[in-house]
Chain A
Amino acid sequence: MDYSRPPLADRLAAAYAAGTLRGPARRRYEALLPAHPALRQALHRWQARLMPLSTSVPPVIPPPVVWQRIQQQLGHLNPAPAVQRWWQGLSFWHALSGLSTAAVVGLAVLLAVPEPVQPPIVVVLESTQDVAAAGGVMSARFVASISPDGRAVVTRALQPVSLDADRALELWAVPPQGAPRSLGLIAAQGASLVQKSRVPPGTAALAVSLEPSGGSTTGAPTGPVLYVGKIGI
């Protein structure tokens, strides 16, 4: 059966989102989602369509014990926190975006043995006023997360940034004094993993500049700094 045929994809998505697709058919549909973008798109459309119906369901405050159990299960309650290796799972996370239950169960098994590592440092990068001057670049913010050992940085655009084809975004580590050091290019949408450079100890801020495609050739930012975020409290 060709699941990406639009009428069938639409019908399955409607039944899944409404909850009437059940039993083995529901499981089969979930298993198909990761490999079929047309099915996922149809499902996203139906979930968005039916969302207004859920707004009338009265909220119910859950008992506090639920939050405690969640933290316990994730290992967030220990004084020496055990976090999963947050940056290794990108490919899993992509697979998970289809809400595949099977994948989640698999991931849960993989993560069942947490390794005691320090939590990552999370930096929110605010847009600078240069954004408007750069023309055409939408105001947006990035979040960046630095691994405890400083060897990996994951950035994530909160909203996609529109860029001309001959432009790129470059991530910089800004020391308290002296010149910024390039950490590499990052994507204007979604997540990027920057692994080739070590974030220098003592870095005070992260910054994103607009550069020619391929990045700055001078070793220093050549374009406007679009986003900047301070590290530390």
Chain B
Amino acid sequence: MPLPAQDWSQSSKELSQLLARVGLGDREAFAKLYERSSAKLFGVVLRIQRDQAAAEDILQEVFVKVWRSAAGFDAAQSQPLTWLTSVARNAAIDSLRRQQTQPQIQARHRVDDDDDAPDAVDLAADEAPGPLELLSRATEARALNHCMQDLNAMQKQSLALAFYDGLSHAEVAEKMAQPLGTVKSWVRRALLSLKNCLEHAQLRDVNAGSPAGQA
């Protein structure tokens, strides 16, 4: 479901304008912004915070924060969806921190990272895709496959668990039954390996947004 580059930059421009109006106290723009972005952000939050009620509270917190700090959004510094997603991710990760002080009643995460590659089983209609599946979808959709070539399955898996499901290094290590130090270096390695080609993807998006840019 990736957007064509043109839609992507068009919707980014609209979000920027909505955010600017929200920053000036425009409620109508705020309602539109919610309509445009809430499902996207709720999806991101719900991956990390799997408790539905807690995730709803986080989404509320995110939009309250957006209303109050939209004036600080700087379109020259970030894309609007990047900013919104970062606010949502941070709030979701912070909620895990709070939760750690409470007893864990049940495992938050499904056991889905055994040795089998994610396949049709992983994609049962009513099941959310696993983190590795999301990573490979994202890289395929944005033509980033070559970014992943240098990474082995463990490195990909460790990054996917950390990024999509909000697991800490220690939790990734536990889940993958690997030493903490090893997992740390895998995640670090995966991030560095992604750095260059993700930058290229970003440039591509920016260029697609300029009048002279070509998709």
- Cβ of B76 and Cβ of A160 under 8 Å apart? yes
Contact of B69 among A11, A44, A83, A97 (CB under 8 A): A97
Kindly report which residue of chain B lies nearest to residue A69, judged by CB atoms.
B60
B54-83 interface bits toward A, Cβ cutoff 8 Å, 1 = contact, 0 = none = 001001100111011101111111110111
- Cβ of A154 and Cβ of B199 under 8 Å apart? no
Kindly report which residue of chain B lies nearest to residue A65, judged by CB atoms.
B56
Contact of B195 among A49, A74, A94 (CB under 8 A): A49
CB of A101 within 8 Å of the partner chain:
yes
- Cβ of B24 and Cβ of A122 under 8 Å apart? yes
Taking the closest CB of chain B, its distance from the CB of A230, in whole angstroms, is 15
Taking the closest CB of chain A, its distance from the CB of B97, in whole angstroms, is 7
- Cβ of A19 and Cβ of B93 under 8 Å apart? yes
Contact of A93 among B26, B29, B71, B85 (CB under 8 A): B71
B185-215 interface bits toward A, Cβ cutoff 8 Å, 1 = contact, 0 = none = 0011001101100110110000000000000
- The segment from A55-63, A164-172, A201-209 that touches chain B is A55-63
A59-92 interface bits toward B, Cβ cutoff 8 Å, 1 = contact, 0 = none = 1111101110110011010000001101001100
Q: Which residues of A (93-108) have their CB < 8 Å from a CB of B?
A: 93-97, 99, 101, 104, 107-108
Task: Knowing A58-B43, A143-B20, A189-B76 are in contact, say whether A99-B87 is a contact too (CB < 8 A).
Answer: yes
* Interface pairs A-B: 9 shortest CB-CB: A145-B24, A97-B72, A56-B138, A59-B39, A93-B72, A56-B137, A86-B25, A96-B69, A49-B198
Taking the closest CB of chain B, its distance from the CB of A152, in whole angstroms, is 11
Taking the closest CB of chain B, its distance from the CB of A97, in whole angstroms, is 4
CB of A159 within 8 Å of the partner chain:
yes
CB of A119 within 8 Å of the partner chain:
yes
- Cβ of B69 and Cβ of A120 under 8 Å apart? no
Taking the closest CB of chain A, its distance from the CB of B83, in whole angstroms, is 8
CB of B10 within 8 Å of the partner chain:
no
- Cβ of B25 and Cβ of A18 under 8 Å apart? no
Contact of B24 among A54, A99, A154 (CB under 8 A): A154
- Cβ of A97 and Cβ of B38 under 8 Å apart? no
CB of B178 within 8 Å of the partner chain:
no
Other than the given A47-B78, A47-B83, 16 more pairs (CB < 8 A) read A14-B192, A26-B97, A48-B78, A49-B202, A51-B79, A55-B2, A56-B134, A57-B134, A60-B43, A66-B42, A70-B63, A70-B64, A141-B17, A143-B17, A143-B26, A144-B24
- Cβ of B90 and Cβ of A101 under 8 Å apart? yes
Contact of A56 among B56, B93, B141 (CB under 8 A): B141
A73 and B16 CA atoms in complex are apart in Å by 24
Task: Knowing A18-B191, A20-B187 are in contact, say whether A156-B64 is a contact too (CB < 8 A).
Answer: no
- Cβ of B24 and Cβ of A156 under 8 Å apart? yes
A67 and B31 CA atoms in complex are apart in Å by 9
Residues of B within 8 A of A60 (CB): 39, 42-43, 46
Taking the closest CB of chain A, its distance from the CB of B33, in whole angstroms, is 11
Residues of A within 8 A of B142 (CB): 52, 55
A66 and B139 CA atoms in complex are apart in Å by 32
- Cβ of B60 and Cβ of A158 under 8 Å apart? no
- Cβ of A67 and Cβ of B90 under 8 Å apart? no
CB of A22 within 8 Å of the partner chain:
yes
A158 and B82 CA atoms in complex are apart in Å by 17
- Cβ of A93 and Cβ of B39 under 8 Å apart? no
A121 and B153 CA atoms in complex are apart in Å by 55
- Cβ of A86 and Cβ of B60 under 8 Å apart? no
- Cβ of B27 and Cβ of A76 under 8 Å apart? yes
Contact of B82 among A47, A65, A97 (CB under 8 A): A47
CB of B162 within 8 Å of the partner chain:
yes
Task: Knowing A54-B85, A57-B43, A191-B71 are in contact, say whether A73-B64 is a contact too (CB < 8 A).
Answer: yes
Kindly report which residue of chain B lies nearest to residue A67, judged by CB atoms.
B34
- Cβ of B138 and Cβ of A74 under 8 Å apart? no
Residues of B within 8 A of A55 (CB): 2, 138, 141-142
